[in-house]
Amino acid sequence: MAVALRLLALAFDRTDLFVDEVQYWFWGQNLDFGYYSKPPLIGWLIRLVTDLAGSDAAFWVRMPGAVLHGITALLLGALAARLADGRAALWTVAIYLTLPFTALGSVMISTDTVMAPAFAAALLFLFRLTESRRTSDALLTGLFAGLAVMAKYAGVYFLIGAGLAMLACPAMRIGWRQAALMLLAFAVVVAPNVVWNLSHDLTTVSHTMDNAGWVRTGARFHPGSLAEFFFSQFAVFGPVTFAALLWGYARPRLGTRRALALLSVPALMVVSVQALLDRAYANWAIATYFAGTVLAVLVLPRAGRIAALCVNLIPTLALPVLITLAPWPRTDSGPLLERYLGRHALSGSILALARAEGLPVVSDNRDILADLFYIGRDDTVRFYAAPEEGRASSYYAQMRPMPERLTGEVLMISTSDTGCPGARLEGLTLTGVWAGRDVVAQRVAATCLRGR
């Protein structure tokens, strides 16, 4: 029912695809074993769904999110049933479906969402393996752990957590043979992406180092950043559920709860250190919350489970309403969902201006380029990333740079000074996220852009 209602809301969604979402769609148009900033599974999935649907509409790009989170809830419920009982399983399904990050990931596709069912399946088969010691369970555990990594590199936290659980909990020790089979299956699944990275100058590794920040610039202690990240997790996982998870960490019993805690905590700890040394986004620790959901349910008494469900229902119910009513509600500074509005309108106006001027489009702004490739997918206008020195700053600069052979004038779209003389053109539609921003459309010589 929850999945069906979310799909219904998506059918009436009035927000634009976000920059990351259109980037994932664009990856799917160029099937490969890796991409600039992420492993390939999300691009493959979106391509599969849109090809089967015969449409690249926003609904089909986002549709897998609700379905994948529904599958994840069932897998975690099956895990809870194995570790506890049927009542815990039902509570696990209900609470997972109402988690704030689940609600957001069900209406806006992300790599976290694609990783979720694979990570949950790996957990389920790992616990099965501890009892069965079957070769098939070992291979399936490795297979799904590999798929989790092929969705998002944070899937590797599964292996870290599994190793800690095996060291600390005798019941989790699966034997050297089964561990070797699990790692073999994992290696086979991730090998294509490893080979791709090695043959593309470790592109994704370099981007990950850029995100880490301190790796290139040196570590600086930021207690404020750590505090911001830590308290953001109450919003990501829900205040009651996150408090229960912390209690589960503080009072880990022997056996099941200790194993779940060790399978859950690595991502939260690593990202907390990252936040202390530089910065960390709130969603970087999502891998914490698959085993963490089951642990929170086992820790919470019945009243606590009811409280968690009621509190989490607030954003769960509010988000579908907001995406169908956008741009309402408005605040003094603009629509509440402003960052998800105005992107497609700007792209449409850029394409119209380019057609009127008879010029190809060049931009040095990743957000603008991403949306142009989506909105202009069936247009005759050509668009390129502005020339750059050194390592490409985006997938578009890497794969669709302005060609060396391009001469004459181009329509340059930028949010900063291009350093090139040329006539400034009017006609851009600046609403939503672009309202009040200085987005400039300018006729400039391609040779000037190349020589900047």
pLDDT for the residue 49? 98
Q: HSE-up of 360 (CA within 13 Å, CB side)?
A: 17
Handedness of CA 65, 70, 73, 74 (dihedral sign): negative
Beta strand 440-445 with 361-363: parallel, antiparallel or unpaired? unpaired
Identify the pLDDT of residue 213.
Answer: 57
Q: What is the mean pLDDT of residues 144-159?
A: 98
pLDDT-based confidence at 392, cuts 50/70/90?
A: confident
294 has pLDDT over 80:
yes
pLDDT band at 216 (very low <50, low <70, confident <90, very high): low
Question: Can you give the pLDDT at residue 417?
Answer: 85
Would residue 142 count as lying in a domain? yes
Q: Say whether pLDDT at 209 is over 70.
A: no
Output helix, strand, coil percentages for the chain, rounded to the nearest 5: 65, 5, 25
Residue 387 maps to a domain: yes
Residue 354 belongs to a domain? yes
Judge if 445 and 347 occupy the same domain: yes
In a domain, 187, yes or no: yes
Note whether 64 and 181 are same-domain residues: yes
pLDDT at 391: 81
Pick the range with the lowest mean pLDDT from 108-112, 120-124, 222-226.
Answer: 222-226
C-alpha 128 chain-centroid distance = 28
For residues 133 and 175, membership in a common domain is answered with yes
Q: Is residue 414 part of a domain?
A: yes
Beta bridge partners, 444, equal 410
Residues 302 and 440 grouped into a single domain: no
pLDDT at 212 > cutoff 80: no
* Same domain (yes/no): 141, 188: yes
Give the count of beta carbons closer than 10 Å to the beta carbon of residue 281.
12
| Average pLDDT rounded to a whole number, residues 117-132 | 97
Mean pLDDT of the chain: 94
**Residue 174 sits in which domain range?**
2-202+297-324
Is 7 domain-assigned?
Answer: yes
Q: What is the pLDDT of residue 195?
A: 96
Task: Return the pLDDT at 207.
Answer: 62
Q: How far apart are CA 342 and CA 394, in angstroms?
A: 22
For residue 452, the model assigns a pLDDT of: 64
Q: Give pLDDT tens digits for 331-357.
A: 888 899 999 999 999 999 999 999 999
- Tens digit of pLDDT for each residue in 7-29? 999 999 999 999 999 999 999 99
Whether 147 and 178 share a structural domain = yes
Residues 317 and 387 in one domain: no
DSSP letters spanning 61-99: HHTHHHHHHHHHHHHHHHHHHHHS-HHHHHHHHHHHHHS
pLDDT digits (tens, 9 = 90+) for 234-271: 999 999 999 999 999 998 777 899 999 999 999 999 99
Q: Tens of pLDDT along 426-442?
A: 999 999 999 989 999 99
Between residues 395 and 222, the one the model is more confident about: 395
Query: Per-residue pLDDT for 92 more than 70?
Result: yes
Helical H runs in 169-255?
176-199, 203-212, 214-217, 223-237, 239-250
Question: Which pLDDT tens digit goes with each residue over 369-391?
Answer: 999 999 999 999 999 999 988 88
Residue 366 · residue 417 · CB < 8 Å: no
Question: In this structure, is residue 149 part of a structural domain?
Answer: yes
According to the model, what pLDDT value does residue 332 have? 82
* pLDDT value of position 208: 67
Residue 446 belongs to some domain of the structure? yes
Tokens encoding 58 = 């926003």
Tell the burial category of 165 from Cβ atoms under 10 Å away from its Cβ (0-12, 13-18, 19+). Answer: buried
Residue 210 pLDDT = 61
Task: Give 85-89 contacts, CB < 8 A, sequence gap 24+.
Answer: 88/294, 88/297, 88/298
Residue 215 has pLDDT above 60, yes or no: no
Mean pLDDT of 409-421: 92
- State CA 261 to chain mean position distance: 23
| Residue percentage of the chain with pLDDT more than 70 | 96
Say yes or no: 142 and 187 in one domain. yes
Residue 322 buriedness (CB in 10 A; 0-12 / 13-18 / 19+):
buried
Local structure of 218: helix, strand or coil: coil
**Please, are residues 369 and 394 in contact by the beta-carbon 8 Å criterion?**
yes
Instruction: Assess whether 315 and 401 both reside in one domain.
Output: no
Residue 37 has what pLDDT? 87
Indicate if 315 and 433 belong to the same structural domain: no
Average pLDDT value for residue range 411-420: 91
Structurally, how many domains does the chain consist of? 2
- Note whether 48 and 172 are same-domain residues: yes
Please say if the pLDDT value at position 211 is more than 80.
no
User: What are the tens digits of pLDDT across the range 29-85?
Assistant: 999 999 988 999 999 999 999 999 999 999 999 999 999 999 999 999 999 999 999
Same domain, 361 and 393: yes
